[in-house]
Amino acid sequence: MAGTCFCFDLDGTVTRAELLPMIASEINLEQEMSLLTRLTMDGLIPFEDSFRLRFAILRSAGLERIRSVVAEVELDPDIAAFIADNRDRCFIVTGNLDVWVEPLMQKLGCTFYTSTSQMSANGDVQLKHIMRKNVPGLELKERFDRVVAVGDGYNDLPLFDVADVGVAYNGVHASPDALISVADYVTMNGKGLCRLLSTL
Amino acid sequence: MSIVEHAVVAAAGLGSRLGHGKPKCLVEFGGVSVLAHIMSLLKDVPDVRVVVGFMEAAVIAELQRVRPDAIVVRNPSFRTTTTLHSYALGAQHLTGDCLFMDADLLIVPETFHTFLEGCRPGEARLALTASKTKDAVYAELDGEAVTGFRRENPTAFEWSNISWLPVKYFTDIGMTAVYEHLRRYLPMTSGEVVSFEIDTAEDLAQAKENAQLFGLAAT
């Protein structure tokens, strides 16, 4: 396949709120989660370690409860519409877990690359593989002439590194300087982002 | 209404000749930044792209406040390139015609809108202003057509650093000033605006004397 494809981060880019803190607030672990989020955002804990810890905190909420929170999250209407119009060349590339974000796979209807889980014999969700975003980025580069990456966090750096065009997204919170320093563009809401994407 | 769909605003420079230690577009007039003024002038242009470099975080923060649907284009090599490079980066991926302007301008709004309304598809057009700045690029005119640029021997009008140009003019650029690059496309039609550039302390003082002209209270 030729042409341009678009890789979107999920939390705080396509969704108008970060999903993990939303789940944490359901089980009254907001403070613990926000400390961990801050340490991760400040680059003090690598994303993979942070995600393992966050997974350990949040799994106690139970799969159904997590999915019901995820299903309720508000999507950016402009970005969701862009994805709907370009389903075969839009991809979600997220560190979030496959079984947790499943409700959004159905809503958005495009292919997701996620961290993966497996069910243990007693029905527990266990972490199988944590997403490294350069892997799907390189895979998509084989299929498309050009890869455009859109994201807002440190864990988007490996994707920006392999993408042809990087767009830092400040629509929900400011992207870290490290991400902006490797970006070609910065956009500040879904309208501006989609106007840019429609010209790429 | 004008036909202008795209605007590229160059806001990457150091502003060292003004020497305020911040980008010129963040200089304030009565609490209104020059960038807020420019964004207010461009409020009816759907696609606005602002090229940033020096102190980009501060420029992005101001832009987020005044025009959150603007597209920020990064020029990481702002220290070693000219505005021409910023224009080329800003117009990358666009087609057709685009308004190009600098972000260190104060403009009388009515004259700016009249200029935009006079823009036609495929017809390159320069905005001129009465000569006044210290480091002017003077326009040589034949009627309304600009036939040449010069730095010495002042003429009645200088180029205001506002232009309506086909994007393709920027596909092949060198390390020159914008007006030098545009010479190859002369003659071009022109229209007059009342604008003040704030390149130097003298320019800024002159603009401040005329601050009541720029509709800043409405920004």
Burial profile B32-60: b = 16 or more Cβ within 10 angstroms, e = fewer: bbbbbbbbbbbeebebbbbbbbbbbeebb
* Contacts of A176 by beta carbon, 8 Å cutoff, 6+ apart: A41, A43, A153, A154
CA dihedral B97, A90, A65, A116 (to 10 degrees): -140
Confidence at B108, pLDDT banded by 50, 70, 90 = very high
Q: B57: nearest CA in chain A?
A: A177
Instruction: Measure CA of the first residue to CA of the last residue in chain A; give whole Å.
Output: 17
Average pLDDT over residues A156-185: 96
Beta strands per DSSP E along chain B: 6-11, 28-29, 32-33, 47-52, 71-74, 97-102, 105-107, 125-130, 138-142, 145-150, 157-166, 189-192, 195-197
Average pLDDT over residues A13-22: 92
Average pLDDT over residues B135-164: 96
CATH code 3.30.70.20 for B6-218: no
**Can you tell me the distance from the alpha carbon of B115 to that of B194, in angstroms, rounded to the nearest whole number?**
10
- Report residue B79 CA to chain centroid gap: 19
**Can you tell me the distance from the alpha carbon of A161 to that of B17, in angstroms, rounded to the nearest whole number?**
36
**Can you tell me the distance from the alpha carbon of B55 to that of B11, in angstroms, rounded to the nearest whole number?**
10
Q: Does residue A192 surpass a pLDDT of 80? A: yes
Average pLDDT over residues B18-35: 87
Q: Does residue B204 surpass a pLDDT of 90? A: no
pLDDT digits 0-9 by tens, A50-61: 889 989 989 888
- Residue B213 forms contact with A (CB below 8 Å): no
- Residue A122 is predicted with a pLDDT of 84
- CB count within 10 Å of CB B173 equals 15
**Can you tell me the distance from the alpha carbon of B98 to that of B48, in angstroms, rounded to the nearest whole number?**
10
Confidence at A124, pLDDT banded by 50, 70, 90 = confident
Residue scoring higher pLDDT (B45 or A37): B45
* Contacts of A68 by beta carbon, 8 Å cutoff, 6+ apart: none
Q: Residue A81 is encoded by which pair of tokens?
A: 């519409």
CA distances to A19, A60, A65, B124 from A68, rounded to whole Å, are 11, 14, 5, 56
User: Inter-chain contact B71–A192, Cβ cutoff 8 Å?
Assistant: yes
Confidence at B219, pLDDT banded by 50, 70, 90 = low
Domain residue spans of chain B:
6-218
User: Is the distance from CB of A175 to CB of A166 less than 8 angstroms?
Assistant: no
- Residue B209 is predicted with a pLDDT of 87
Please, what are the domains in chain A?
4-16+75-197 (3.40.50.1000), 20-69 (no CATH)
Q: Does residue A1 surpass a pLDDT of 60? A: no
User: Inter-chain contact A191–B56, Cβ cutoff 8 Å?
Assistant: no
- Residue B50 is predicted with a pLDDT of 98
- Report residue A32 CA to chain centroid gap: 21
Q: Does residue A142 surpass a pLDDT of 90? A: yes
pLDDT digits 0-9 by tens, B52-78: 999 999 999 999 999 999 999 999 999
**Can you tell me the distance from the alpha carbon of B159 to that of B165, in angstroms, rounded to the nearest whole number?**
14
Of B47, B52, B72, the CB nearest to A195: B47
Of B52, B56, B71, the CB nearest to A195: B71
Confidence at A193, pLDDT banded by 50, 70, 90 = very high
**Can you tell me the distance from the alpha carbon of B202 to that of B199, in angstroms, rounded to the nearest whole number?**
8
pLDDT digits 0-9 by tens, A110-119: 999 999 999 8
